[in-house]
Amino acid sequence: MGRPSNTEQRRADILEAMLEVVAREGYRGATVAAVAQEAGLNPGLLHYHFKKKLEIVVALLERLAAAVEARAERKLRRAGDDPQARLLAYVDAHVALGKGADPRGVAAWVAIGAEAVREPEVAAVFQAAVEERLARLEAHFAAVRAARGERRAGSRSDAAATLAAIEGAYRLSAAAPDALPKGFAAPALRRMVLGLLGEA
Amino acid sequence: MGRPSNTEQRRADILEAMLEVVAREGYRGATVAAVAQEAGLNPGLLHYHFKKKLEIVVALLERLAAAVEARAERKLRRAGDDPQARLLAYVDAHVALGKGADPRGVAAWVAIGAEAVREPEVAAVFQAAVEERLARLEAHFAAVRAARGERRAGSRSDAAATLAAIEGAYRLSAAAPDALPKGFAAPALRRMVLGLLGEA
Amino acid sequence: MGRPSNTEQRRADILEAMLEVVAREGYRGATVAAVAQEAGLNPGLLHYHFKKKLEIVVALLERLAAAVEARAERKLRRAGDDPQARLLAYVDAHVALGKGADPRGVAAWVAIGAEAVREPEVAAVFQAAVEERLARLEAHFAAVRAARGERRAGSRSDAAATLAAIEGAYRLSAAAPDALPKGFAAPALRRMVLGLLGEA
Amino acid sequence: MGRPSNTEQRRADILEAMLEVVAREGYRGATVAAVAQEAGLNPGLLHYHFKKKLEIVVALLERLAAAVEARAERKLRRAGDDPQARLLAYVDAHVALGKGADPRGVAAWVAIGAEAVREPEVAAVFQAAVEERLARLEAHFAAVRAARGERRAGSRSDAAATLAAIEGAYRLSAAAPDALPKGFAAPALRRMVLGLLGEA
DNA sequence: CATGAATGAGAATTCATTCAT
DNA sequence: CATGAATGAATTCTCATTCAT
């Protein structure tokens, strides 16, 4: 009895529309009205399903971060046991094109990430994602070194530099896609990581 | 004769104020009123010296890009003739801390860069800077390979990956400074570049 | 035969919720959504039982006015025949604390009363209540004077002043309860009424 | 040089418009747009001179409270030394009609006062006014008793009851002016006060 | 009767830009 | 050049009310 709830679907619709608009128009272009229009919904309805606009943005950011990590998880499951192969697979999952690549997600991630300066709630999500990725990368670097019988010192810095290269690839591909060789990131990142490991 | 024009000084004051405010509050926080207050001027005067706000932003972005290239030039002049040393010096000039480092510039660069999606004028400046840096990096990579008697193929991708790592270091240091080891970028980038060159 | 109507109960529930919310949050805080939540119902249902929000407000105001008059009736029935005792009992019924006192009703009465300026339907109920109380007070004053063999002139003004003191006690207790001595109103009003009657 | 400031005048204009609109339409009718229109100004300009709407409301409330006290001061200066005469003059200043009476001020005071439940800033101003008036009334009552050689006990409650009668007179005259005898308040209040003093 | 989503008309506020002085 | 008020177009958010299920 009573009307069945469609909240979950609607929230997903709204996130999808926010993703599309942010990717296309940037954060400033992603007004409530624009998102509503993109979703084919009434602007007021967005505030029925999300208390405020920032909640939509934060939810989207969380979704994007989770999607990338899930993709990495999948790649890792097929990566075998070799620590170095696993490290490279993890990195590859974050930058590779091809199936599962998500240019809109990258653009939105970059656009919303810039709001972290102003919006503590965005900063919190962004930093949590950074922390998680850093921790995983560090563990992968450390595992490689452990397998080689080396000291693990420097794994944190290596993780940070690797994550920087990943984020930078996002940024460049969002801001100046035409200047970049197609698909440069994945193979180059692989060699950079090997460089960090002192491997030619 | 009337009072001497102070336009150039005023324009510089305004750029400086825009830099400060953007670095501190992000692009969205950099309202004309906030910039005017920071500069100790008043809003109307900003529009006397710049036709519109975007002009200030673009001028600042150009100034920031030029400053980094100038810094790289200085470092290169002291770097000697070895192509690899010159490549590393160029990269180092973009990420090293210490004298000449400009955290506000980095923060503003990141914040304004996100506007490139929305503002073609910003995108143009940003892309021009990317192109210039890519071209220089590519030339440096090619020079190293030439000196070794290797083929230059891949230098463009190496340049793109290196620039990505630089931009990513900016981005992370702006968005999640506490998560990163202090001064990780310069030494790690050096090893990454060597990795790209197939050097351990 | 369908389920038995619970309309009367529901309407009472809604009035009760409106009372609670208005008393706690003021008229502006008494949104349909807030009242619905307080009642454990949902917004749509409120509009099933009342055509519009103002109807709820008006019904509540009527209920509050009636409750106070009923309380006065009870007090009067126990007050005996002496006109002065009856006048004082009537006044006392409106301001005394203790059993039957209704601080929420007072707060709601004050909050809704301010809407009389804007809403003719509220004004009508409010004015009707004022008229009724004035008439009763006037009659009581006149009865006292008649029993003394005095002329009844001035009873209307005395009634108005007495009602003003009652309403003002409501208002102050709603707006600045901490500034007031506890229970000041009933004994002071008694002396004020006696003052109006020229009695020390 | 530069444009001369007219802020003080504009702020006064805006307060005047707010007073007019609140008195006429109640608090809910006093939207920024309505006030701006009343003042013949652009809505945005109101936010140039006042940071937010509530600031206008609070400033108006302060102005109204100060005006009444100033009026009382003037009356007191002409009231001589007799404590009882001074007490009655103080009360009279708050309710009398005639020159200096301010029906719009009364209406606005009542309308805005109801917002004290929801707006702490309004509550603060309202309560401060209540405290001040209570303190003055209490001092006047105490002075009368002291002059008679009586104990001062009860002066606080007498003050509260008197202030209640004053506020209630405002309230009734705002909400049901037609039901009230013209000019009932001042003479009736005088007798009420005498009643509180145990005087016939 | 009941549920809860959907609508649409405002509301306050912000801000780049213009303009009178 | 400088000042600061004025303009007007957005923008986010609220809320009574309607409506499909």
pLDDT at B152: 83
Distance CA A111, CA B112 (A): 11
Interchain touch C–D (≥3 Cβ pairs closer than 8 Å) = yes
For the cut 50, the answer to whether the pLDDT of residue A111 exceeds it is yes
At D1, the pLDDT band (50, 70, 90 cuts) reads low
How far apart are the two ends of chain D, measured CA to CA in Å? Answer: 68
Interchain touch B–A (≥3 Cβ pairs closer than 8 Å) = yes
CA angle A43, A48, A54 (to 5 degrees): 75
pLDDT at C12: 96
Query: What does each C-alpha distance from D76 to C135, D73, D88 come to in angstroms?
Result: 36, 5, 9
* Furthest C-alpha separation in chain C: 68
Q: What is the mean pLDDT of residues D153-157?
A: 92
How far apart are the two ends of chain B, measured CA to CA in Å? Answer: 68
Angle formed by the axes of helices A120-147 and B155-175, to 10°? 130
Q: Which residue places its CA closest to the C1' of nucleotide F11? A: A31
DSSP percent split of chain D into helix, strand, coil, nearest 5: 80, 0, 20
Angle formed by the axes of helices C155-175 and D120-148, to 10°? 130
Q: Do B172 and A194 touch (CB under 8 A)?
A: no
The whole-number Å distance from A152's CA to E4's C1' is: 57
For the cut 80, the answer to whether the pLDDT of residue C62 exceeds it is yes
C66-86 residue pLDDT tens: 999 999 999 999 988 999 999
Chain D residue with minimum CA distance to C112: D114
C152 class by beta-carbon count within 10 Å (0-12 exposed, 13-18 middle, 19+ buried):
middle
User: Nearest CA to D196 among D142, D129, D131, D134?
Assistant: D142
- State which nucleotides on strand F lie below 7 Å from a protein beta carbon: 1-21
Q: Which nucleotide is nearest to B49 (CA to C1')?
A: F1
Asked if residue D108 lies in contact with residue D126, where contact means CB atoms within 8 angstroms, the answer is no
Please tell me whether the overall predicted TM-score, pTM, comes out greater than 0.85 for this model.
Answer: yes
Asked if residue D123 lies in contact with residue C175, where contact means CB atoms within 8 angstroms, the answer is yes
The minimum CA-CA distance between D45 and chain C, rounded to whole Å, is 26
Distance CA B150, CA B156 (A): 15
CB atoms within 10 A of CB C189: 26
CB atoms within 10 A of CB B134: 20
A176-200 residue pLDDT tens: 888 899 889 999 999 999 999 987 5
What count of CB pairs under 8 Å joins A to B? 193
Which residues of C fall within a CB distance of 8 Å from D188? 157-158, 160-161, 196
CB atoms within 10 A of CB D156: 19
Percent of chain C with pLDDT over 70: 96
Partner-chain residue, chosen from C118, C165, C184, that has the shortest CB–CB distance to D192: C165
Per domain, the residue ranges of chain A are 6-196
Q: Does domain C6-196 have CATH number 1.10.357.10?
A: yes
The minimum CA-CA distance between D47 and chain C, rounded to whole Å, is 22
Record the tokens describing residue C74, joined without a space: 């009870």
pLDDT at C101: 81
B152 class by beta-carbon count within 10 Å (0-12 exposed, 13-18 middle, 19+ buried):
middle
Record the tokens describing residue C64, joined without a space: 């509050």
Q: Which residue places its CA closest to the C1' of nucleotide F9? A: D44
User: Nearest CA to A92 among A194, A191, A190?
Assistant: A190
pLDDT at A153: 85
Q: What is the mean pLDDT of residues D3-29?
A: 95
Q: Do D180 and C191 touch (CB under 8 A)?
A: no
Tell the residue number behind the tokens 């400009």, with chain if given: B102
The whole-number Å distance from D7's CA to F4's C1' is: 10
Q: What is the pLDDT along chain B (200 residues), one digit of tens a residue?
A: 445 677 889 999 999 999 999 999 999 999 999 999 999 999 999 999 999 999 999 999 999 999 999 999 999 999 889 999 999 999 999 997 766 788 999 999 999 999 998 999 999 999 999 999 999 999 999 999 999 999 888 899 999 999 999 999 999 998 888 999 999 999 999 999 999 998 75
How far apart are the two ends of chain A, measured CA to CA in Å? Answer: 68
CB atoms within 10 A of CB A92: 19
Asked if residue C72 lies in contact with residue C93, where contact means CB atoms within 8 angstroms, the answer is yes
The whole-number Å distance from A40's CA to E6's C1' is: 12
